[in-house]
Structure 1
Amino acid sequence: MGDEEVFAGASGLRRAVELIFSVLSLSHSIRVFAGKWQLIRAKLEELHGGLIAAENFDSGDSPSLSRLAEAVAVTSTECRDLCRRCVDVSYSGKLLMQSDLDVAFAKLDAHAKKLSEIYKTGILTNGFALVVSKPNLGASKEDMRFYVRDLTTRMKVGDLGMKRQALKNLLEVVVEDEKYVKVIVDVGDVVHLLVGFLGSNEVEIQEESAKVVSVVAGFDSYKGVLVCAGVIAPLVKVLDCGSVLGKIAAARCLVKLTENSDNAWCVSAHGGVSVLLKICGGGDCGGDLVGPACGVLRNLVGVEEIKRFMVDEGAVVTFIRLVRSKEEAIQVNSIGFILSIASGDELVRQMVIKEGGIRALLRVLDPKWSYSCKTREVTMRAVEDLCFCSPSSVGVLMNCGFVDQLIYYVRNGEVSIQELALKVAFRLCGTSEEAKKAMGDAGFMPEFVKFLNAKSFEVREMAAEALSGMVIVPRNRKRFVQDDHNIALLLQLLDPEEGNSGNKKFLISILMSLTSCTSGRKKIVSSGYAKNIEKLADAEVSSDAKRLVKKLSTNRFRSMLSGIWHS
């Protein structure tokens, strides 16, 4: 082919590209036959991207491409005429125009298929993989659509290198600007193309498509689009047989999709549960994979039949073992899974205890081991959720040295875990007299006293209520009375004008318990703050205060009270 013919071929491509662009620009002004024009635009955009790429091809003779460019130019000219007639509403009849539009679409579709065949012959090189520039941030929707359509064409008809680069470019824009996600869903075939790539034998193609799909799955309104496109089955296959990066992206995508429980059965039906359990139990996967795999399983335990299958497959033992992992992500996610599978199920909860779940959790709380504050907070919450539902589980806690661990965090923990430990201590105090005794021996009462002056009303109230329960036990009461500061503080906080006090009801309850011993009564009535009780009683603010005054006003103490309170 001579130079003149080469130039002619090149100008033929350029002419076809320019004609398509003019039709696309004009078509956006059309207000009739919207559905048909949407289909036509999609084909025009596909051809536009493919022909622009072909303009840079340098592989030699391609008469088939030149002939196709001429045919596209002719059809584009016909489309431009149809455009103008629809913009001006100057057509002779709706049925005839609909027929003309159908014919135009059929011709464009045939051209697109021919272009795909030309690409598949390998006649075009991948030297044109980066022809179309990425639109700037804030670009118009039309520019974004054009860019995505161009990438789609390359993914459809390009060689491996072109497909890979197009996928990377697509991932880049959806991560940078979420508006591209809507464009991906709106532009025809992109979602189905991505789903198809999940089954690719090429590792990078599979990985990049999984990453893009995972981004799309992060939008609730588009999850259904992915599911309808059949995304779950190939995602499960990637989880089973893909590369590590592919598995991570697939797991993250499934976490998002299974937030809707309707999709749980689909994952299970394709063998996803067994694959996920295998990943978590394999022992050779890092937290980047095990973490989201745990997340998917947590979403699935809400379906009773699937949960039972997991239990039968040894999920409880698997995840108790993962609690001992050295990776924080694995620990946190495995603890979360155990809580989910045991929630509201006493049989599973007892299985967790029997298989050493409590001991595994308490190992994380052991101060001698190095764990992050976040991990310990999650573990403390897990202990609270799992171990306060039955006396037997509380007994296991007590026998494993939990009281000593708890007092450590109440005294020394960072603020977040300290308040959490106080809450757990409050609950433990309410379980049994044995717990109250053990907590008294461990030194909890002085710590509760300190919290009576806390800024948080909730903290003050918990501390006061816990103390009111603990001093019911005689040996705790005796220990409490020995410190003169304790009674003085309680009476001081009963000042009706004291706005930063704990719950006065519990403070008076503590004092009522202390009157059961002679030394307690003496220290109350001899305190410089004893008048606060009478103030409350006289103001008729508290009937509990009146009962306390009455209890203190026995024959033995009446003269003492009269001398102190009425001086």
Structure 2
Amino acid sequence: MGDQENRALEEKPMLQQSIILISSLISLSHSIKVFTTKWQSIRNKLEELLSNLTAIDNCEFTESFSLSITLESILSTLKNCNELAKKCLDFSYTGKLLMQSNLEIVNAKLGTHLQSISDIYAMGLLSQNYAIVVSKPSFSASKDDVKFYINDLLSRFKIGSNDMKKQALLAFNEVIQEDERYLKIAVETDGLINFLVKFLDFQEIDIREEASKSVFLIAGLYKSVLISAGVIPPLIRVLESGNDSSKIFAARCLMKVTENSDNTWSVSAHGGVTALLKICRNKDSLSELVGLACGVLKNLVGVEEIKRFMVEEGAISEFLNLVRSKDEVVQICSLDLLQSMAYGDESIKEMIIQEGGIRAFVRVLDPKSPFSTKTREVAFRGIVNICFSTENILSLLLNYGFMDHILYFLQNGDVVVQELALKAAFWLCGTSEEAKKLMGDAGFMPVLVKFLDSKSFEIGEMAAETLSSLIMVPKNRKKFVQNDQNVCMLLQMLDPEKASSGNKKLLLSILMLLTNSNSARKKIVNSGYLKNIENLAEVEGSDAQKIIRKLNSNRLRSIFTGFWHS
């Protein structure tokens, strides 16, 4: 048997002796009532050393002369530490200053041993035998058990075997999702976050992917810790050269860290904007990844210089191409990003229009198109936000069928889309007299009447204001009155037992406008619902009384005219 094999056999007992002795010391240290601060520091190093030695126990030893010397030294220190622990427990030491000095010496030696083991890992003198990870503690495990488990995983992060690193990362990601205690202790464990950040640059695909997942999971609660560890540059490198899964986790993590505007410059400074734009341009990029890239860019466009850079890079035309995508996630995220870019920026709005943005947005609203309700919701919002302050846009919208689409969704859309269509109608009728006439001819008024008794005061008010605006046009007023059902529905809604106070006011304001028409006054008087207005005049006051006076003055004129001509 060779010298190397003899050493391997000798090391195993020393290693196991050390593990047993450390476990005993950790337990004993909790009972010591003197020099508690120094024993706490010693216990922390013992726990880390135990994790390292347990991990080594699962490794093969190759050319391990350095390990043999280290284990001999560790065992010697542990025996010395054990003697000191017993003296502290029994209060049998001769002097406080001497004991303090001895404890400091042991603490320093333990630190040296930890560094020696790290050096052995770095030299690659340990190779994996089987990637075993210490059993996960039960749900009711103590904080010390959780801490030991995390330290054990950290030890495995340090070992040269890539398979062991991967197994440790998988275990780490599992426990931090199941129990927040593991995440808190992991963040507090010296060096662990730095290891995860370093793993982002690993060539090993699986390690890179799991590390990307780790930092994403941590970013939800501890993104400042990740920022301090320098996570942004390697995340961007993952976006540039990682596999699809690691890119998705990296983009999710960047989404979280860029929620704080303080970090946006760091992303830009390390080439993040270019990397994100490249993902959006790549036809082979997964739709989920493109959506996330748009989300990160949305967080960045609040910085004017970054937004201008994106525009110079042709981002507007690129994102309008994405609006035309067949994937819902890509459509919604690109629509949302374009709106964020246009917010408060007239020059960007104009560029979006010039690049064919209005046509792309209106196309989403075509009832014959396969777009989802959510996509249409974002498109509706985009048209209103981008076109609201833009002049001479009406003819462009009409040419693309925008008015027809609004009317369709007012009649057939679900609640969310109906409300957006109503907002669009309200905005549209405020653009010009021509728009009001066209809306009157298209049949908006009977549809708006149905929204007047909505349970939502906001919707009822918007419908009333839109209808009032349309009725101000004489041509529309005449068309409205010609439909007997329109006037009757208004009067029916004024039933004092059914109408809310807010609705009454809105309805009376519309009726006041209608009383400017002779035929409308006659229809109101002959409708059979005049009693509703009279009841309101007695209870509510001014608006209803004005309508009654106007109707009565018209009756008197009719009587006198008839008498005069008789």
Q: Could you tell me the TM-score, scaled by structure 1's length?
A: 0.90
Match of 1:544 in 2: 543
Q: CA offset at residue 323 of structure 1?
A: 0.9
1:136 aligned to 119, 135, 138, which one? 138
Instruction: For 1:253 and 1:468, locate their aligned partners in 2 and report how far apart those are by CA, in whole Å.
Output: 50
CA distance in 2, matches of 1:104, 1:141: 25
Residue number among 109, 112, 130 corresponding to 1:110 in the alignment: 112
The residue aligned with 1:299 is: 299
Question: Structure 1 residues 441, 34: CA separation in 2 closer, same or farther (over 3 Å shift)?
Answer: farther
Bigger CA drift: 494-503 or 32-41? 32-41
Indicate if the aligned counterparts of 1:455 and 1:500 stay in contact, CA closer than 8 A.
no
> Would the aligned equivalents of 2:239 and 2:251 in 1 still touch at CA under 8 Å?
yes
In structure 2, the partner of 1:529 is 529
Shift of 1:94: 7.4
Instruction: Please name the residue that 1:314 is paired with.
Output: 314
What does the per-residue CA deviation read over 1:153-183, in whole Å, with 9 as the maximum and x for residues that have no partner?
Answer: 1111231111121112111222222322212
Counterpart Cα distance in 2 of 1:66 and 1:277? 54
Look up the equivalent residue of 1:116 and give its one-letter code: S
Of 188, 191, 208, 1:189 maps to 191
Give the Cα separation in 1 of the matches to 2:41 and 2:314: 52
Structure 1 residues 182 and 28 mapped into 2: Cα distance closer, same or farther (>3 Å)? farther
Partner of 2:202: 200
Residue 69 of structure 1 and its aligned partner are, at CA, apart by 2.8
1-structure distance, mates of 2:355, 2:34:
69
Instruction: Describe how 1:163-562 pairs up with structure 2 within 5 A.
Output: 163-219=165-221, 222-500=222-500, 503-539=503-539, 541-557=540-556
Mean CA deviation greater in 230-239 or 500-509: 500-509
Structure 2, unaligned runs of 5 or more: 561-566
Worse-matched range after superposition: 201-210 or 104-113 = 104-113
Q: Residue 496 of structure 1 contacts residue 536 of structure 1 at CA under 8 Å; is this kept in 2?
A: yes
The verdict on how the C-alpha distance between 1:36 and 1:348 changes in structure 2, with shifts beyond 3 A counting, is farther
Q: Quick one: distance in 1 between partners of 2:557 and 2:37?
A: 95
Structure 1 Cα separation of the partners of residues 545 and 144 of structure 2: 79
Distance 1:488 1:94, change over 3 A: farther
CA distance in 1, matches of 2:287, 2:260: 24
Is the 1:129–1:154 Cα contact (8 Å) retained in structure 2? no
Residues 478-537 of structure 1: per-residue CA shift (max 9 Å, x gap)? 221122122122122223333457622221222122222221111011121112222222
Q: CA deviation at 1:443?
A: 1.6
Q: 1:503, 1:510 → 2: CA distance?
A: 11
Equivalenced residue count is 558
Moved more, 260-269 or 449-458: 449-458
Are residues 70 and 315 of structure 1, via their aligned partners in 2, closer, same or farther at CA, if it must alter by over 3 Å?
same
User: Cα deviation per residue 1:444-499 (whole Å; 9 max; x = unaligned)?
Assistant: 21211222233333322222222122111122212211221221221222233334
Distance, in Å, in 1 between the alignment partners of 2:558 and 2:436 is 36
Distance 2:39 2:393 in 1: 68
Instruction: Pick which of 66-75 and 487-496 moved more.
Output: 66-75
Contact residue 121 and residue 158 of structure 2 kept, 8 A:
no
Percent identical? 54
Structure 1 residue 324: Cα displacement: 1.0
Stretch moving more, 433-442 or 34-43: 34-43
CA shift digits 1:208-236 (9 cap, x unpaired): 111101111111xx211111111111111
SS at match of 2:516: coil
Q: Once the two structures are superposed, what CA deviation does each residue of 1:307-340 show, in whole Å capped at 9, x if it has no partner?
A: 2222222222221111111111111111111111
Which amino acid is 1:476 matched to?
N
Q: Which shows bigger deviation, 140-149 or 171-180?
A: 171-180
Q: Which amino acid aligns with 2:313?
A: E
Alpha carbons 1:53, 1:129 under 8 Å: kept = no
1:564 corresponds in structure 2 to: none
Provide Cα deviations, 1:82-110, integer angstroms capped at 9, x if missing partner. 55667788878877666544433332232
Inter-partner Cα distance in structure 2 for 1:485 and 1:272 = 61
Q: Which amino acid aligns with 1:188?
A: D
Which residue identity is paired with 2:45? K
Match for residue 563 of structure 2?
none
In structure 2, give the amino acid aligned to 1:298. K
Assess if the C-alpha contact under 8 Å between 2:52 and 2:152 holds in 1: yes
Q: 1:151 to 1:277 in 2, by over 3 A?
A: same
Is residue 23 of structure 1 aligned with residue 22 of structure 2? Answer: no
Kindly indicate whether the alpha-carbon contact (under 8 Å) linking 2:452 and 2:503 is maintained by their aligned counterparts in 1: no
Q: Which amino acid aligns with 2:552?
A: S
Task: Report if the CA contact (8 A) 1:468-1:507 is conserved.
Answer: no
TM-score when scaled to structure 2? 0.90
CA drift of 1:61 comes to 8.1
Superposition deviation, residue 81 in structure 1: 4.8
CA distance in structure 1 between the aligned counterparts of 2:252 and 2:110, rounded to whole angstroms = 38
Corresponding residue for residue 162 of structure 1: 164
Counterpart amino acid of residue 409 in structure 2: Y
> What is the CA–CA distance in structure 1 between the aligned matches of 2:413 and 2:169, rounded to whole Å?
48
Is the 8 Å Cα contact of residues 468 and 506 (structure 1) preserved in structure 2? Answer: no
CA distance in 2, matches of 1:478, 1:116: 90
Q: Cα offset for 1:44?
A: 2.4
Name the amino acid aligned to 1:518.
N
Is the 8 Å Cα contact of residues 464 and 502 (structure 1) preserved in structure 2? no
Larger mean Cα displacement after TM superposition, 431-440 or 252-261: 431-440
Superposed displacement of residue 133, structure 1: 0.8
For the Cα contact (< 8 Å) 2:323–2:331, is it kept in 1? yes
Instruction: Choose 101-110 or 166-175, whichever is displaced more.
Output: 101-110
Deviations 1:10-43 (A, max 9, x none): 3322221122222333445668877765654443
Q: CA deviation at 1:548?
A: 1.6
1:112: how far off? 2.2
User: 1:453, 1:502 within 8 Å by CA — same for their partners in 2?
Assistant: no
Go from structure 1 to structure 2 and tell me whether the alpha carbon gap of 1:195 and 1:95 turns closer, same or farther (over 3 Å shift).
farther
Return the alpha-carbon distance in structure 1 between the equivalents of residues 87 and 342 of structure 2.
67
Give the AA of the match of 2:553.
Answer: T
Q: Distance in 1 between matches of 2:340 and 2:87?
A: 63
Deviation sequence 1:363-400 (CA, Å, 0-9, x none):
11111111122211222222222221233344532332
State the AA in 1 paired with 2:251: A
SS of match in other structure, 1:498: coil
Q: Distance in 2 between matches of 1:22 and 1:156?
A: 25
Q: 1:529 and 1:184, CA in 2 relative to 1: closer, same or farther beyond 3 A? A: same
Tell me the secondary structure at the aligned position of residue 495 of structure 1: coil
Counterpart residue identity of residue 172, structure 1: E
Provide the residue aligned with 2:128 in structure 1.
Answer: 126
Q: Distance in 1 between matches of 2:427 and 2:418?
A: 14
- Matched residue type, 2:51: G
SS of 1:528 mapped into structure 2: coil
Q: What are structure 1's unaligned runs of at least 5 residues? A: 562-567
Answer whether contact 1:203 1:242 (CA < 8 A) is retained. Answer: yes
Farther-moved stretch of structure 1 (104-113 vs 262-271): 104-113
Structure 2 residue matching 1:554: 3-state secondary structure? helix
CA contact (8 A) 2:213 2:250 kept: yes
Q: Is the 8 A contact 1:452 1:502 kept in 2?
A: no
Query: What is the root-mean-square deviation in Å for CA atoms of aligned residues?
Result: 2.8
Does residue 76 (structure 1) correspond to residue 78 (structure 2)? The answer is yes
